[in-house]
Amino acid sequence: MALVTLESASELDSRDHLRHLRDEFHIPKHPNPHGSRGADGATDHQAVYLCGNSLGLQPKGTRGLLLEELGVWADQGVYGHHNHPSSRPWIDIDGCVSEEMAKIVGADRSEIAVMGTLTSNLHFLMAAFYRPTDLKYKIIVEEKAFPSDYYAIESQVQWHGLKSSDAIISVSPQPGQHTLDTHDILKVIEDNGASTAMILLPGVQYYTGQLFDIEKITKFARFHDIIVGWDLAHAVGNVELSLHDWQVDFAAWCSYKYLNSGPGGIAGIFVHETRSSQGRLTGWWGHDRASRFKMDNNFVAIPGAGGFQHSNPSVMATVCLLGSLNVFAKTSMKDIREKSVRLTGYMEELLLADEETRGFYEIITPRNPSERGAQLSLLFKHGIMDAVFQKLERAGIIADKREPDVIRVAPAPLYNSFGDVFKFSQEFKEAVLEASRVDGP
């Protein structure tokens, strides 16, 4: 990539084909507008929001959609299930999001279901796909798995009467490294292929921002007759996915991060079409639509992932997701990713170009754009991270921190600009220099 000069943020913004999509979102206010520097007029009181990896911003269209549903409920009560003025009968409410959702993860529409929440869905999917036998019973995970995923896996193992110390194998980074080497993952798969039932990894690692080679790992694990599941919490809406073509067995994700569906938003699952007859825990919403209300207690599954649904989905949560997917529908994951690679690359270049701050932190996210999404994780010399974070907050930079020493910054291509990234880099420099003076190592 060509080196971008410091002055070129506005030029980069003017050449950005997705620039107009920022207007589709509410940008949070600067918590401390009087403390802000810079003379960019109208945008001065907006915060620089770099936290879309944790909670995506609210699309402007979402409020109207929610109000419409409240109106239908107020005016029509139960009739809203079938009679809906905006053609979103609640009985098939997921129909308004499933096509775009399938596109975003690279699946056939029948291979995904919009339902529930992430950790619960992981449990349901493991109930279906993790079937340990005497010989094949282990689960391969990463050493630093997100706690909720780890608890889910550990409790599944125990639920089957197994010991986690025996049944869970974790892949660790090489000594002195922060990220995992694909070869090491493949090696662990190869060494444990005979005794392993399932592998469950994140598409993008929440702490380091590492994007795994989903296709390669999936192919290799399947060759060893291992069920392959992916947690795509930080990957969905962030990087291009082709779950169907990659022959992933199952996947799950939440939608409030890069998919901007709002806090606690409705989640999604993927079940490959070749796995849709897998035994599973069931509920009435997974029952064939035409006969669901016959109430005869003979379960007939909806073909595909739909058969894994349990409850009628939250209409409010589903239209919140719709508000965001309407924005995604104006572009493509290809274009989003293309901007994202440039935007994150620009941030990395600005950070690395600054020699004064270089000694106080390191970027632990892979340098190779094909091994990361929108996030950079900055690991500080011990003792200064909190001070840097506070100073950033005071300057109107919204990021997030992970104890003990990491700040994560994620320029989200749908609403972040090159100008945001430039402003961040300036405030970052001041924050690091001040923090290191006061609290210095």
* Least distance between ligand PLP and beta carbon 108 (Å): 24
- Is 16 annotated in a binding site? The answer is no
Q: Reduced to 3 states, what is the DSSP secondary structure of residue 19?
A: helix
In terms of CB distance, is 118 or 431 closer to ligand PLP? 118
Nearest by Cα to 32 from 397, 437, 428:
397
In terms of CB distance, is 255 or 357 closer to ligand PLP? 255
In terms of CB distance, is 236 or 431 closer to ligand PLP? 236
The residue length of the chain stands at: 441
- Is 411 annotated in a binding site? The answer is no
DSSP readout, 327-383? HHTTS-HHHHHHHHHHHHHHHHHHHHH-TTTGGGEEE-S-SSGGGB-S-EEEEEPTT
- Is 65 annotated in a binding site? The answer is no
- Is 23 annotated in a binding site? The answer is no
Token pair listed for 303: 């073909």
In terms of CB distance, is 55 or 363 closer to ligand PLP? 55
* Least distance between ligand PLP and beta carbon 80 (Å): 27
* Least distance between ligand PLP and beta carbon 354 (Å): 30
Residues that bind ligand PLP (CB under 6 A): 117-119, 146, 148-149, 202, 206, 231, 233-234, 254
- Is 418 annotated in a binding site? The answer is no
- Is 202 annotated in a binding site? The answer is no
422 within 8 A of 6, measured Cβ to Cβ: yes
- Is 73 annotated in a binding site? The answer is no
> 31 Cβ partners below 8 Å, 6+ apart?
47, 393, 394, 396
DSSP readout, 52-64? TTTSPPPBHHHHH
* Least distance between ligand PLP and beta carbon 99 (Å): 23
In terms of CB distance, is 214 or 302 closer to ligand PLP? 214
Nearest by Cα to 104 from 209, 265, 242:
242
* Least distance between ligand PLP and beta carbon 57 (Å): 16
- Dihedral sign, Cα of residue 234, residue 236, residue 239, residue 245: positive
The CA-CA-CA angle for residues 332, 418, 19, to 5°, reads 40
- Is 354 annotated in a binding site? The answer is no
* Least distance between ligand PLP and beta carbon 153 (Å): 11
In terms of CB distance, is 84 or 123 closer to ligand PLP? 123
189 within 8 A of 183, measured Cβ to Cβ: no
Q: Which residue carries 């010989």 as its tokens?
A: 135
Binding-site annotation: residue ranges for pyridoxal 5'-phosphate: 118-119, 146-149, 231, 234, 256, 284, 312
Binding-site annotation: residue ranges: 118-119, 146-149, 231, 234, 256, 284, 312
